[in-house]
Amino acid sequence: MPEKLVEVVNLSKSYQSAKKGLFRKSRIPVLRNVDLQIAPGEILGLVGESGSGKSTLGKAVLKLIDADEGDIVFDGQNLGGLTTSQLRARRKDMQIIFQDPYASLDPRKTVRAALSEALETHGLYTGDAQEPRLEALMKMVGLSAEFLGRLPHEFSGGQRQRIGIARALAVEPRFIVADEAVSALDVSIQAQVLNLLADLRRDTGVAMLFISHDLSVVRFISDRVMVLYLGRVMEVGPANDVHFAPAHPYTAALVSAEPSLKPKGERIGLKGEIPSPMNPPSGCVFRSRCPFAIGACDEKIPELRLIGQGRYKACIRDDILKGAE
Ligand SMILES: Nc1ncnc2c1ncn2[C@@H]1O[C@H](COP(=O)(O)OP(=O)(O)OP(=O)(O)O)[C@@H](O)[C@H]1O
Ligand code: SF4
Ligand SMILES: [Mg+2]
């Protein structure tokens, strides 16, 4: 078992429904019994359709939102037991990069102000040490130090995302959640930013939870991939194995939906829309869209079980999708 930096144990999260029931408030379950582990320096990719609960999981791991149930353990410390000020201090180690850096950067603040604020929050690189640190950060993300005096609107989308990355890296975190960090960028810029993140992981040893709805993007950067559907984990395994030989019908459907990829065997189409989390199918939650569903699939929720070296799937059928063998 590799050393763990981040461990999530049996995490569940629901949101208050906007529509209240007749007699009681109803809640929408968004994450159900999620477990995950991330080793130091590891990139775990998290993939799934819109609404599958990826961002909720990313925020819950960082304790930016509270889960209903479950534990988040960071470097051996259960974050649930921390006081507000202890958690604030811990935040130095756990940062986030958003999809839209424009929304997360104050339009009236220069890059220098945004980056120095991040440092000052944690009392890092104060006084004379600050300017060299800011210049080094700009260099790390491939931007000229001359840009430190600019405002966010004076940058392109790709450059702004580099600033978002610099801001996350400023405090030397050990773990970053990157939530759709390249999704808003043009394909060629996406590749540059992905390469930058991969280089930064190599150079700084930062671990990441890399979230995207695009499996090929996730596969490119991740060591392992976790597939989420309606708030439940469907499959986990080494990135290439999951992408090129998916073991779960949902993963196979995601692969089939990629225009650029020729999957082994037949293409598996996804029928219909993702069901409402308020009313998920009984048994396997993927049942209503699964081309391999059999009668037994509605009997109980399939457990995430070990099916090979580091590979897990939550599906009762062993006789399908054996591409890995
Ligand atoms: N603050 C909230 N209040 C109520 N419901 C919410 C809230 N945030 C998210 N949800 C619901 O929780 C579910 C999961 O949302 P989440 O944003 O985690 O999904 P996602 O996988 O990140 O989707 P996307 O790919 O669109 O970003 C959705 O059904 C969403 O409508
Ligand atoms: S348990 Fe049944 S419905 Fe669920 S993925 Fe497997 S075959 Fe499909
Ligand atoms: Mg999201």
Asked if 162 and 105 count as a contact pair (C-beta separation under 8 A), the reply is no
pLDDT of the residue at 268: 78
DSSP helix/strand/coil, 44: strand
Give the pLDDT of residue 26.
83
Asked, for residue 290, whether it belongs to a domain, the answer is yes
CA distances from 222 to 26, 41, 91, 238, 246 (A): 37, 11, 23, 8, 15
Answer whether 51 contacts ligand 1 (Cβ < 6 A).
yes
What's the whole-number mean pLDDT along residues 148-172? 94
Cα of 57 to ligand 3 centre, how many Å?
A: 9
Whether 24 is covered by a domain: the verdict is no
Phi, psi of 57 (to 5 degrees): -65, -45
User: Which tokens hold the place of 88?
Assistant: 């604030």
Task: Tell me whether residue 150 is in a domain.
Answer: no
Banded pLDDT at 1 (limits 50, 70, 90) = very low
Expressed in angstroms and rounded, the spacing between residue 12 Cα and the centre of ligand 1 is: 14
Q: What is the β-pairing status of strands 77-78 and 69-74?
A: antiparallel
Is 317 close to ligand 2, i.e. is its CB under 6 Å away?
yes
pTM of the shown model: 0.94
Q: 3-class SS at 165?
A: helix
Residue 176 belongs to a domain: no
Per-residue pLDDT band at 269 (split at 50, 70, 90): confident
For 294, left (φ over 0), alpha (ψ -120 to 50), or beta? beta
pLDDT greater than 80 at residue 2: no
Question: Is the residue at 151 inside a domain?
Answer: no
Q: 268 CB less than 6 Å from ligand 2?
A: no
Q: What is the pLDDT of residues 78-133, one digit of tens each?
A: 999 899 999 999 999 999 998 876 777 889 999 999 999 999 999 999 999 999 99
139: CA distance to ligand 3 center in Å?
Answer: 29
- Long-range contacts, stretch 320-324, CB < 8 angstroms, 24+ apart: 320/249, 320/292, 321/245, 321/246, 321/247, 321/248, 321/249, 321/252, 321/292, 323/244, 323/245, 323/246, 323/247, 323/264, 323/265, 324/241, 324/245, 324/247
Mean pLDDT of the chain, nearest integer: 91
Where residue 324 falls among pLDDT bands split at 50, 70, 90? very low
What per-residue confidence (pLDDT) applies to 175? 98
Q: What is the pLDDT of residue 104?
A: 78
Domain count across the chain: 1
Q: Is residue 109 part of a domain?
A: no
Question: In one letter, which amino acid is 7?
Answer: E
CB 59 within 8 A of CB 65: yes
What are the Cα distances from residue 180, in Å, to 12, 100, 321? 22, 8, 28
> Are 225 and 294 contacting, i.e. CB atoms less than 8 angstroms apart?
no
Check if 52 has its Cβ closer than 6 Å to any atom of ligand 1. Answer: yes
Residue 270 falls inside a structural domain: yes
Residue range 48-72: mean pLDDT, rounded: 96
The tokens describing 182, both together, are 């390249």
Nearest-atom index, ligand 1, CA of 180: 27
Task: Check whether 45 has a pLDDT greater than 80.
Answer: yes
Q: Is the pLDDT of residue 306 over 80?
A: yes
pLDDT in tens, 230-259: 999 999 999 999 999 999 999 999 998 877
**What is the span of the domain harbouring residue 307?**
249-325
Q: pLDDT-based confidence at 31, cuts 50/70/90?
A: very high
| 212 pocket-lining for ligand 1 (C-beta < 6 Å) | no
Whether 319 maps to a domain, the answer reads: yes
